[in-house]
Structures are given as structure tokens and as C-alpha cells.
Amino acid sequence: MLIKTKKAEIIKNLEKEIKESQSVVFVNFHGLNVADETVLRRNLRNQEVQYRVSRKTLLKRALAGKAEGSVPELSGEVAIAYSAKDQVAPAREIYNFQKTHKGLLSILGGIFEGKFIEGAKMQEIAMIPSREVLCAQFVNLINSPIQRFAVVLDQITKSKN
């Protein structure tokens, strides 16, 4: 059992981390063993995403008044994933781990752009590709008509010869 001063310190740290982060993802990690959690933490760390297990009551106290709306239902064992640098990375990395390790993690919701959002909406956000992938897709989209035009011109020159 935690003493009152320790609980206050944990809440204060949670509030600070939530305030400094771009987005927060609430994760139910029921059934996650130590080896899988180590892999998860390593993957998150590589993407500069922090991961922290917390008691639900302390987390709810820390979340009070931190975003618009109401806190989503936090069921089971709860952890938070958050990042101060990338808004989408926490959700994306949890989602990617969830795809490879079926049934071990579930996204319960989160905080995105100053609002509490439900798990389904957070799943949609998780499917947004990284900035580098989006830039590559954009360049490919712009380059495609030019490339097709060059192929057509090449075919015309071959047919005239």
C-alpha cells in the first residue's frame, strides 16, 4: 500500500508528463508477459515514446481537468504511452505492437489535441503513417503523371523509328 506522500508524488509526475506530451494513449496490457513488455518498451524507446504503468485511481486524478471531455473507460491493467515530440507515434507504435502480438494489448482511448477520445478514434489515429512515409507517398503522387508522360513520349519515339 502506498503512503499518501508517495501517491501525491506519483500524481504530480503523471500530471507533468501528460502536460508535456503531444498525445497520450491509454493501453490495457492484460496478459502481457515480461519478454513481450521488454520488446514493447524497446520499440517505443526507439521511437522516442515513453511508456508507464499506472494505477487507475492515480491516473484518473492526474487526468482531471487536463483535456476537454470525459476520461474514457479505463478497464483492466492500465498503462500510458506518450511522446513530447510526435503526436501520432505513441498510438502508431502501440497499434503496430498490437498487430504482431494479438490479444495482449488494447487501446482504450487517449488524449489528442487537447481532447479525450475513445479507443476506436485512437485506433484511426494510429493508422496514420509516419511523416516520412506521407512525404514519400506525396512525392510519388506528384511524380506519377510526369513518369507516365515520359513513358508515352518514349513509346511514340519508338513507334516512329
Provide Rg for the chain, Cα atoms.
22
Q: Residue 105 corresponds to which cell in the numbers above?
A: 494489448
Model confidence over 45-55: pLDDT tens digits? 998 999 999 88
Helix (H, G, I), strand (E, B) or coil at 34: helix
Cα 34 to the center of its chain, rounded Å = 21
- pLDDT bracket for residue 1 (50, 70, 90): low
Do residues 92 and 130 make contact, with C-beta atoms less than 8 angstroms apart? yes
**Domain locations in the chain?**
4-128, 129-161
Do residues 80 and 10 make contact, with C-beta atoms less than 8 angstroms apart? no
DSSP conformation class of 72: P
Average pLDDT, the chain: 87
Do residues 33 and 77 make contact, with C-beta atoms less than 8 angstroms apart? no
- How far apart, in whole angstroms, are the C-alpha atoms of residue 120 and residue 63? 20
Evaluated on CA atoms 31, 37, 41, 44, the torsion sign reads negative
- Please give the share of the chain, as a percent, with pLDDT higher than 90: 18
- How far apart, in whole angstroms, are the C-alpha atoms of residue 144 and residue 16? 46
pLDDT of residue 161: 66
CATH no. of 4-128: 3.30.70.1730
The position carrying cell 518514349 is 154
Section 34-54 average pLDDT? 91
